[in-house]
Structure 1
Amino acid sequence: MDVESAPKPGKPRGPAKRGHGCRNICIALVATLVLVVVLIVILAFTVFKAKHPVTTVNSAKLEKLQVSLNVAPLGLDLNVTLDLDISVKNPNKVGFKYKNSTTVLNYRGEPVGEVPLPADEIGADRTKQMNLTLTVMANRFLSNSQAYSDFLSGVLPLNTYTKMSGKVTIMGLFKVHVVSTTSCDLSVFVSNRTVGDQRCRYKTKL
């Protein structure tokens, strides 16, 4: 009589083993992806954290300054052209691409002239030089009652205000919109047409 023996326990079959290996591979891929994302986020908020561009008025020259004081009736005739040498430094580790912007010249809180800044891009850790010619709007300037006394004292308190709106792209993945404003107070000495006592304030919105 033939007697069948009970099947001996053997190793797991092939498909089950392959399924277990695929699961391990998927877990490893997900873990690697999570680590990469975490690393990118850390870099985005540390090394590549968006910083404000720094605008500096290197010099301001009164190329055309024609002033005449009328005694009767009392009045002041003014013709002023101001040459501004401005530098914009991009401290970011990536390029800063900005839209059309404007630099406004203010006198005692009132705008008296402006000059456009065409859209451009500043490379990482680069500084862009800009030579701007700004014609002062005499009618706005002279509408301030303190203009006469400031000219007689020989010192004009002016302010330049620059607003730059653009974006930086971090690692080709994240686009961070940046709005940077720079306000610089400066004194222009009428006698020798030089600039001194410059103080700048910066503000950035991300």
Structure 2
Amino acid sequence: MARKGLRMCMIVCSIFLIVVVTIILAISLTILKPKDPDISVHPYGLENFQIIQPNVTAVPLGMVITIVNPNYGTFNYKNTTGYLSYHDINVAKAVVVSGSVPARGLFNITTVAGIMTQKLMDDTQFWSDIEVGTLNFEATITLPGKVTMLKIFKKKALVHVACDLSFKLNLSSIHTDSSCISKIKL
């Protein structure tokens, strides 16, 4: 009789363990699976923005980088530098100060990129792009940091971001469009 009770207890414990392992595995493969953040870049202060200014080596371009974190972990990133390229030529860099993107939240980063006007004007396609009225840039940044889940689990992570920025130049204003692709690597 005691063996029958012990056997029944082992079967129940085994079934319980299988159910718990299955639930943990399902949660880790679905809910806790890292998702790429949604990132967008919004230049600001364009009402007074002039790329061509005499005797000016760098024109400041203010940017707000918006990060939407769809994950259940907080991302703490370190100081880093982003780059702005025009036809594969690095024309600006922007310092991004360390911060924390909350789990399932939104975070804005404000920075300024100093566009080196001489590098722009030295590019053979710059003047034809000005005539057309569109300047296309690529912004890239890599954010190194750590992901913290439930304030217990910590894992190193890198977020690579590449954005296409398009400046449409009119006589009275400048309009921008941006599209970004981001990838998280744990």
Query: TM (normalized to structure 2)?
Result: 0.77
SS at match of 2:24: helix
Structure 1 portions without partners, runs of 5+: 1-11, 70-75
Name 2:179's counterpart in structure 1.
Answer: 199
In 2: Cα distance, 1:42 partner to 1:171 partner: 17
SS at match of 1:150: helix
Retained in 1: the 8 A contact 2:85–2:138?
yes
Letter in structure 2 aligned against 1:198: S
Q: CA deviation at 1:67?
A: 2.0
Residues 1:137 and 2:116 are matched in the alignment: yes
Percent identical across equivalent pairs? 27
In 1: Cα distance, 2:164 partner to 2:136 partner: 7
Retained in 1: the 8 A contact 2:40–2:179?
no
Structure 2 portions without partners, runs of 5+: none
Of residues 36, 45, 48, the one that matches 1:52 is 36
Name 2:74's counterpart in structure 1.
Answer: 95
Name 1:72's counterpart in structure 2.
Answer: none
RCO comparison, higher one (Cα < 8 Å, 6+): 2
Name 2:84's counterpart in structure 1.
Answer: 105
Listed as ranges, the matches of 1:93-172 within 5 Å are 93-171=72-150
Larger Rg over CA atoms: 1
Retained in 1: the 8 A contact 2:43–2:61?
no
Q: CA deviation at 1:136?
A: 0.8
Q: Structure 1 residues 117 and 78, CA, compared in 2 at 3 Å: closer, same or farther?
A: closer
Q: Structure 1 residues 24 and 168, CA, compared in 2 at 3 Å: closer, same or farther?
A: farther
SS at match of 2:73: coil
Q: Structure 1 residues 187 and 78, CA, compared in 2 at 3 Å: closer, same or farther?
A: farther
Letter in structure 2 aligned against 1:58: H
Aligned residues: 184
SS at match of 2:129: helix
Letter in structure 2 aligned against 1:126: G
Query: TM (normalized to structure 1)?
Result: 0.70
Choose 31-40 or 78-87, whichever is displaced more. 31-40
Q: Structure 1 residues 172 and 143, CA, compared in 2 at 3 Å: closer, same or farther?
A: same
Retained in 1: the 8 A contact 2:94–2:112?
yes
Name 2:50's counterpart in structure 1.
Answer: 65
